[in-house]
């Protein structure tokens, strides 16, 4: 692989956002540096979301070929991606999670295929875990029934035949409604035209939002099934139960943000009310059940989650916005319900 650091203009800029995932980041970077890719120049940009644990300097010295950038705070995934993209010099961007490993040339097929798609298109690869199990590729844009386990089950049952046809394993390319931000390929100019990642999101939902905006602007969302990366989940979001409760809170919050961004009028009102009611009931019931195993760490996390959700809704009512309180846009927002 030819890794570019200023001497040669890169074809692809790889942007990786890290937060205290140093071991997995090291394996990710090593996999990229060991990869054999012919006639494609790559640059690797790592944005550390202010891990503030004394490791940044050590890791950056271990990988002098990589462009390391330290964010001013843990401002979220979108913020880190946008910061890295500002420094990118490649014609194309590949956003990659630190808990991934690239063990095969994904760049040649990505570059070859994206030329067949219109502006604002987003491509992804297949993903599998370290045991070789592939992730599901069918992903659907949010509707009220998508936000319940029963609704998702009924949807899959009713649409089973079509889903199997659309996402058949023998198809080289499939077309989900959205693809995960853990591996996302896009032209740099298109990314800028779409105004990048939405920093109203702190964590989760930002990839769904970007794919929705790409489609709204004529782009296609596609996933290549004949190339894959290794994805070991939980690089920086499952460090301990308290962190798990925090990040799980953002799952609920991101749903409200997405609805506020992409639904209008009575549809938005009904969707927000539905998600709010479901979130409170679900987290309250789990918190109550956790009292049966009071000292268990996951039980403690469930009670913290319930408290986080209640505080979010109180703050949302006071502030008049669904934006995540951890978002860099939160203090400056003037958006009202």
Question: Is residue 93 situated within a structural domain?
Answer: yes
What pLDDT does residue 235 have? 45
Instruction: Say if residues 71 and 47 touch (Cβ distance below 8 Å).
Output: yes
pTM score of the predicted model: 0.93
> How many structural domains are present in the chain?
2
User: What tokens were used for 233?
Assistant: 């989940």
Q: Residues 185-228: pLDDT tens digits?
A: 999 999 999 999 999 999 999 999 999 999 999 999 999 999 99
E strand residue ranges, 8-61: 12-18, 41-48
Instruction: Decide if 334 is inside a domain.
Output: no
pLDDT at 68: 98
Are 115 and 154 in a shared domain? yes
Q: Indicate if 314 and 182 belong to the same structural domain.
A: no
Distance from C-alpha of 57 to C-alpha of 65, rounded to nearest angstrom: 14
User: How far, in Å, CA of 117 to CA of 105, rounded?
Assistant: 20
Structure tokens at 116: 């067949």
C-beta of residue 3 within 8 angstroms of C-beta of residue 43:
yes
Same structural domain, 127 and 176:
yes
Are residues 32 and 83 part of one domain? yes
Which CATH number characterizes residue 211's domain?
A: 3.90.550.10
Q: Do 99 and 199 share a domain, yes or no?
A: yes
- Are 249 and 182 found together in one domain? no
Q: pLDDT tens digits, residue range 30-45?
A: 999 999 898 999 999 9
List the one residue out of 187, 177, 206 whose CA is nearest residue 80.
206
Q: What is the DSSP letter of 303?
A: H
* E strand spans, 153-281: 173-174, 183-187, 221-231
SS3 content of the chain, % helix, strand, coil (to 5): 45, 15, 40
Identify the domain containing residue 315 by its residue range: 241-319
């Amino acid at each position: 692989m030819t890794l570019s650091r200023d001497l040669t203009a890169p074809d692809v800029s790889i942007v990786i956002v890290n937060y205290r995932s140093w071991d997995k980041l090291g394996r990710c970077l090593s996999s990229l540096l060991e990869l054999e890719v012919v006639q494609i120049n790559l640059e690797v940009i790592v944005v550390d979301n202010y891990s503030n644990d004394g490791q940044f300097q050590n890791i950056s010295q271990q990988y002098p070929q990589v462009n390391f950038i330290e964010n001013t705070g843990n401002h979220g995934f979108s913020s880190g991606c946008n910061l890295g993209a500002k420094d990118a010099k490649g014609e194309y961007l590949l956003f990659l999670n630190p808990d991934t490993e690239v063990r095969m040339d994904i760049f040649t097929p990505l570059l070859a295929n994206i030329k067949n798609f219109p502006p604002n298109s987003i491509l992804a690869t297949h993903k599998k875990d370290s045991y070789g199990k592939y992730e599901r590729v069918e992903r659907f844009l949010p509707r009220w029934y998508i936000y319940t386990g029963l609704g998702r089950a009924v949807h899959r049952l009713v649409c089973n035949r079509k889903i199997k046809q659309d996402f058949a394993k023998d198809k080289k390319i499939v077309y989900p409604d959205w693809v995960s931000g853990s591996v996302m390929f896009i032209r740099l100019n298109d990314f800028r035209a779409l105004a990048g990642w939405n920093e109203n999101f702190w964590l989760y939902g930002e990839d769904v939002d970007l794919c929705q905006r790409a489609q709204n602007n004529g782009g296609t969302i596609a996933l290549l099934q004949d190339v894959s990366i290794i994805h070991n989940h939980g690089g920086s979001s499952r460090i301990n139960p308290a962190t798990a409760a925090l990040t799980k809170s953002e799952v609920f919050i991101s749903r409200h943000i997405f609805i506020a961004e992409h639904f209008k009028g009575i549809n938005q009102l009904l969707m927000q009310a539905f998600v709010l009611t479901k979130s409170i009931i679900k987290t309250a019931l789990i918190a109550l059940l956790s009292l049966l195993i009071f000292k268990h760490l996951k039980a403690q996390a469930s009670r913290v989650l319930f408290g986080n959700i209640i505080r979010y809704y109180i703050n949302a009512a006071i502030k008049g916005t669904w934006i995540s309180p951890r978002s860099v846009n939160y203090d400056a927002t003037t958006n009202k319900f």
